[in-house]
């Protein structure tokens, strides 16, 4: 024990201790999963530029978004033709690629993912049923853009409307669902805007259920990925609709507009296009136990959108992997205890520590524990007592809280007095 630590022990104070565990685990992509909710894992880091964008109008931020140039990744700059791009690991929330992800954009039919989230919630709670039929209004029938061609004055099954909305990207299907659930599109949109912050959307506002151009209607690439994550996690029983290859209604056959789904490279979600937003895509795929979500927008054509989406998806799976570093309750280190009935307390992981690791960085990183030494008794089970620190070149340290794996009671009055005088055992 060093002289400074011995003196600290005798005075009942503590000093910071950082003990190396081992190196060569891996460079870390972004964050650890410790049982935190998805919204916390995906919460954006608000730099000054992001705050400025959040207060600007949708049109202004659209103009500010970079057209070309590289995206930021843990591996360094990465070129993408997309104006907005965001790639995230579904399980850990690790951000693998980021380009203008907090800058507002016209989301076009990516909006329908949020529309679907509200519809799925109504289905899950029994407010509506798949076999229920909803009437087609003249407004729905006249809605332009992509359509499933609902018949005016008739009723359509909810199951058909969901398929028409997600496979055929039918704007008319969205209107029928919105009016059937909320009475009007406007009231349904109010439900979308009310639900958005509850699921972690921090920079989105909806003016319609379709994504047709409207002033004040915007999302960010990060928020699109957040909606996708919630659709997958919250409604697995309905997620399959995004992956269906085709749908025929009213004797009109249409294929899924998501080319990555059509090619078997993704199991969902949506594409979209408007003049303001360009060609966009949100896709998710699971390979070798890992799931990735890719969001791009602002490409120049449907072919460029498909190629770039496929390229980023392949890049993510080729360059990153998930690894469980420690299991819940696993003892990672022991910290000395001052004035406690035990000399030390185990430091444990509060939950499985799962990290997203860039491939090939296994020998370039370092893991250590950081805690105030000694820990002052009493110590309660589960008390946060330090942190696991993961370091890698050119990256900020990642800190994961560690908990006390046992309770340590405080010494009695006499024992504490003797310890302070140096006559008792060092504890």
Residues forming the annotated binding site for substrate?
270
Which is catalytic among the residues 33, 169, 204, 285? 169
Which is catalytic among the residues 33, 109, 204, 365? 109
Rounded distance between C-alpha atoms, residue 172 and residue 149, angstroms: 7
3-state secondary structure of 155: strand
> CA 389 from chain center: how many Å?
22
Q: Torsion over CA of 184, 190, 192 and 193, rounded to 10 degrees?
A: 160
Task: For 43-89, give the DSSP string.
Answer: -----HHHHHHHHS-HHHHHHHS-SSSEEB-TTS-EE-S-SEEEEEE
Closest CA to 42 of 199, 228, 198, 226: 226
User: Which residues on neighbouring strands pair with residue 272, listed in sequence order?
Assistant: 280
Residue ranges of the binding site: 270
CB 387 within 8 A of CB 399: yes
Rounded distance between C-alpha atoms, residue 77 and residue 308, angstroms: 16
DSSP 8-state secondary structure symbol assigned to residue 154: S
112 is an active site residue: yes
- In whole angstroms, how far apart are CA 59 and each of 46, 49, 75, 218? 20, 16, 32, 9
Chain position carrying tokens 């907005």: 84
Axis crossing angle, helix 158-166 with helix 171-182, rounded to the nearest 10: 140
Taking phi first (over 0 means left), then psi (-120 to 50 degrees means alpha), and beta for anything else, what does residue 137 get? Answer: beta
Which is catalytic among the residues 108, 112, 147, 365? 112
Q: What is the CA angle 197-221-178, rounded to 5?
A: 55
169 is an active site residue: yes
Backbone angles phi, psi at 405, to 5 degrees: -85, 0
In this structure, the number of other CB atoms found within 10 A of the CB of residue 376 comes to 15
286 is an active site residue: no
- In whole angstroms, how far apart are CA 16 and each of 36, 90, 386? 27, 35, 10
User: Which residues on neighbouring strands pair with residue 102, listed in sequence order?
Assistant: none
Catalytic residues: 109, 112, 169
């Amino acid at each position: 024990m060093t002289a400074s630590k011995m003196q600290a022990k005798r005075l009942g104070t503590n000093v910071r201790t950082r003990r190396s565990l081992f190196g060569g685990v891996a460079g870390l992509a972004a964050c650890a999963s410790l049982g935190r909710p998805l919204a916390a894992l995906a919460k954006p880091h608000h730099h000054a530029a992001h705050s400025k964008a959040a207060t600007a109008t949708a049109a202004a931020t659209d103009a500010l978004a970079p057209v070309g140039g590289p995206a930021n990744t843990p591996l360094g700059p990465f070129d993408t033709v997309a104006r907005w791009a965001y790639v995230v690991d579904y399980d850990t929330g690790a951000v693998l690629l980021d380009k203008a992800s907090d800058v507002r954009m016209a989301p076009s039919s990516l909006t329908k993912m949020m529309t679907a989230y509200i519809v799925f919630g109504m289905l899950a709670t029994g407010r509506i049923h798949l076999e229920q039929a909803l009437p087609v209004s003249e407004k729905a029938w006249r809605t332009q853009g992509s359509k499933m061609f609902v018949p005016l004055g008739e009723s359509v099954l909810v199951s058909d409307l969901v398929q028409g909305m997600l496979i055929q990207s039918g704007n008319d299907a969205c209107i029928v669902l919105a009016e059937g659930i909320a009475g009007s599109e406007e009231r349904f949109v109010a439900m979308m805007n009310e639900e958005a912050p509850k699921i972690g959307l921090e920079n989105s506002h909806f003016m319609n259920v379709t994504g047709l151009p409207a002033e004040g209607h915007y999302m960010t690439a990060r928020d699109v990925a957040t909606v996708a994550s919630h659709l997958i996690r919250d409604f697995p029983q309905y997620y399959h609709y995004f992956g269906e290859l085709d749908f025929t209604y009213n004797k009109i056959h249409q294929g899924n507009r998501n080319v990555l789904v059509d090619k078997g490279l993704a199991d969902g979600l949506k594409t979209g296009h408007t003049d303001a937003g360009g060609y966009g895509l949100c896709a998710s795929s699971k390979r070798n136990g890992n799931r990735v979500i890719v969001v791009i927008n602002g490409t120049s054509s449907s072919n460029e959108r498909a190629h770039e989406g496929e390229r980023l998806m392949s890049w993510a799976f080729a360059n990153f992997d998930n690894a469980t570093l420690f299991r819940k309750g696993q003892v990672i280190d022991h910290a000395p205890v001052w004035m406690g009935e035990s000399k030390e307390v185990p430091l444990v992981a509060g939950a499985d520590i799962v990290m997203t690791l860039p491939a090939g960085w296994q020998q370039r990183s370092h893991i250590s524990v950081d805690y105030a030494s000694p820990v002052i008794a009493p110590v309660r089970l589960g008390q946060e007592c330090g942190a696991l620190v993961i370091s890698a070149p050119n990256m900020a340290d990642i800190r994961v809280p560690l908990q006390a794996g046992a309770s340590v009671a405080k010494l009695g009055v006499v024992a504490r007095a003797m310890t302070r005088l140096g006559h008792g055992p060092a504890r």
